[in-house]
Amino acid sequence: MLSLAYPRAEAAPIAFPCPIDARRDLTDTLACYRQTVENQPLNYTMTSIVQLPGIEQRTYRLVSQSWSPDQLVRPDTWVHEVALYIPQDALPRRALVIANDGTRHPGEGETPRTPNDFLPDTLADIARSTRTAVISVSDVPNQLLSYADDGKPKAEDDSVARSWTLFMQSPHTRGAMPLHVPMAASIWRAMSLAERELTSLGIHRFVVSGISKRAWTTWLALIGDQRVDAIAPFAIDLLSTRAALENMYRSYGGNWPLAFYPYYAEGIDRTLDSPAFGLLMRIEDPLSYLGTRHSSRLAVPKYIVNASGDDFFVPDNSQRYFDKLPGAKALRMVPNSSHSDIRRATLDSLVPFVKRIQHGKALPQVDAAPIETNGQTILRLRTSERPRQLLLWQATNPLARDFRYACGIRYTSTPIAMNGARPQQLVLVPPTNGWRAYFVEATFDDGFVATSQTYILGDGYPSTPPPAVGGSCRTLPGRDTHS
């Protein structure tokens, strides 16, 4: 064991530092919690140094925090493996932080699971290709976690859903209860570790990325910490959360996708119109920070990468939030991808994005606006840079407004002829029966891929659930949202 520790004691229990009462705006929760954890001594130990081709990999054991609001959660001490991938020719001042998964506290008879979202080879490839130090923090969140009111060990969405319920039972005394809050703190503490360990590079700015709930955490880490100056969230197409959930529910004929089950089992669907859920969204929904003292945080460069056939989210959710986001932004819809398949797109998305951020190059814009003209839907398209390839992707479901990859829906592409700098005029043909989804994909000279938003043509929303094909292609019956 290499000797380097600051200090060796486990994290002390955290007392929430900000006044908590009915008058405090919950959009200050993240800033308050960051103040709390950053006031604690930084507690980590180096465990290894490995030389890879062109890379030095340093690994640390980090204790990020003690998290157990109202003593409701065990274990309360969060421990992570933080791996630094440092290129020999690393650029100074900025690093990339990856919120990674893992299972540190497995169930009985099981073994701990190392991260699967971003594998070591991928992390090293990103570092080499971008000349950027990459920091991977594992076990975001720590899991399995047991909540005192039911004692059943939980992971991933089951744990998020339970934390939401406990928050909504007492919103003004459990501000740190939503699981994404300590998850964000894991990122902040890994950033502080990197600042201390990478002094020769003068690292004080960070691009942050993650997948699924770790992508949601990416947004919240941005809100709470000024050091984050760009983000790349993958597969969390859920900003403007209440409206996005409504779009999901109506798209499935007043039902929920099977992937929503952890939240359904927790009864979250029954709370969507409650005051407590509204308070939860003041913390959780990134768009809730518009118009607050934190709104400028949303203006940093953002590369939002979503899956066309996501098990959770319907492909036109971005229409509820993308145009509202300030500042530099780009969207990518990955064709023929499920929620978990988005891992395939991480390397070829992050490399050109991080390069552009590192070299101060603007993100490419794909501006599209559908208009109805003489009974036709015309998509007027313009790009800020000339792409090397332009494709129109489409998928049709004759039976349902359902584009899940698990349900056998596949997109096909058609090349679009490029006419210099002039806007393109594309005719979007509605289906004879059912629903059809369209989006435009532009690939630029540096490999950056950006798409338009997705547009769905068809006869409004269905009144019946989609056919149940089996496996993941099923739905859950809708229930009253006013409970």
Q: How many residues can be counted in the chain?
A: 483
Q: CATH 2.60.40 in the chain: give the residue spans.
A: 367-477
367-477: CATH topology: Immunoglobulin-like (2.60.40)
CA-to-CA dists, residue 40 to 18, 50, 64, 107, angstroms = 15, 29, 9, 30
| pLDDT for position 22 | 46
Note the pLDDT of residue 259. 97
pLDDT of residue 25: 85
Q: In Å, how far from its chain's centre is CA 408?
A: 25
Q: In the chain, which residues fall in CATH 3.40.50.1820? A: 26-365
Residue with tokens 């923090």: 137
Given this model, what pLDDT does residue 419 score?
74
Residue ranges of the chain with per-residue pLDDT less than 70? 1-23, 420-422, 481-483
Q: What is the pLDDT of residues 140-186, one digit of tens each?
A: 999 999 998 787 999 999 999 999 999 999 999 999 999 999 999 99
0.75 surpassed by pTM: yes
pLDDT at residue 470, as a whole number = 83
The pLDDT of residue 442: 97
Residues contacting 139, CB < 8 A, separation 6+: 78, 79, 80, 81, 100, 101, 102, 103, 104, 115, 186
Domain 26-365 has CATH 3.30.2310.20: no
pLDDT for the residue numbered 421: 58
Q: What is the pLDDT of residue 150?
A: 85
User: What does the pLDDT read at residue 19?
Assistant: 55
